[in-house]
Structure 1
Amino acid sequence: MKKFVSLLIVLFLSSQYLAAEEVSIKFYLKFGFVKGGEAEMTISDTVFNDRPAIHYHVMGKTTGLANKLYGVYDIYETYVDAESRLPVKTIRNVKEGSYRRYTETLFYHDVDSINSTRSGWRAVPNDLLDLISVFFYFVHKNPFENLQPGDAVVYPTINADKISDVSIKYLRDEKIKTDVGEVECHVLTPTVRKGKVLEKSDGVRFYLAKDEKIPVFIEFDMRVGSLKAVIKHYKIGGVEQTLR
Structure 2
Amino acid sequence: MKFPNTRLVLHFPDDKARMLPLILSVVLLLPNWLTAEAGSDRPFNVGDHFYYDIKWGFLKVGEAEVIVEQAGDDGPGDLKFILLVKTTSWADAIYRVRNRIESYTDAEVSQSLHYVKSQREGSRKREIVVDFDWDSRKAQYANFGELNPSIDISEGTHDPFSVIFAFRLREFTLGKRISVPVTDGRKSRITDIDVLEEERIKVKAGKFDCLRVRPDVKDLGGVFSKSKDSHMDIWFSNDNHKLIVKMSSSVSVGSFKVELREYVLGD
Q: Same fold (TM over 0.5)?
A: yes
TM-score (norm 1): 0.84
**RMSD over equivalenced CA pairs, Å:** 2.7
**CA separation in 1, counterparts of 2:205 and 2:199?**
16
Match of 1:67 in 2: 92
Could you tell me how far apart the structure 2 residues matched to 1:136 and 1:229 are?
17
1:154 pairs, out of 152, 157, 179, with 179
TM-aligned CA distance change 1:183 to 1:173, over 3 Å: same
For structure 2, list consecutive stretches of 5 or more residues without a partner in the other structure.
Answer: 1-18, 34-41
Report the counterpart of residue 128 of structure 1 in structure 2: 157
What residue is the counterpart of 1:103 in the other structure? 128
Query: Relative to structure 1, is the Cα distance of residues 61 and 111 closer, same or farther in structure 2, using a 3 angstrom cutoff?
Result: same
1:189 corresponds in structure 2 to 214
2:259 match = 230
- Any idea what SS the aligned residue of 2:150 has? strand
Alignment of 1:36-115 (within 5 A): 36-47=61-72, 53-115=78-140
For the pair 1:205 / 2:233, whether they are aligned, the reply is: yes
How far off its partner does 1:224 sit? Answer: 2.0
Q: Are the counterparts in 2 of residues 190 and 202 from structure 1 also a CA contact under 8 Å?
A: no
Between stretches 100-109 and 50-59, larger displacement belongs to 50-59
Q: Per-residue displacement from partner, 1:113-171 (whole Å, max 9, x unpaired)?
A: 1233331533323322111122222231x312xx232x221222123633222322211
Residue from 42, 45, 50 that aligns with 1:25: 50
- Give the conservation status (yes or no) of the 8 Å contact 1:154–1:167: yes
Q: 2:24–2:54: 8 Å Cα contact kept in structure 1?
A: no
1:32 positional shift: 1.6
Partners of 1:158 and 1:12 lie apart in 2 by 12
Query: Aligned-pair distance for 1:190?
Result: 1.2
Q: 1:160 to 1:69 in 2, by over 3 A?
A: farther
The 1-side partners of 2:98 and 2:252 are apart by 24
C-alpha distance in structure 1 between counterparts of 2:95 and 2:189, whole Å: 27
- Distance in 2 between the 1:49 and 1:127 partners? 23
> Which has the larger strand fraction?
1
Give the partner amino acid of 1:102: E
Hey, what's the Cα distance between the residues in 2 that align with 1:2 and 1:57?
A: 20
Structure 1: gaps of 5 or more residues: 239-244
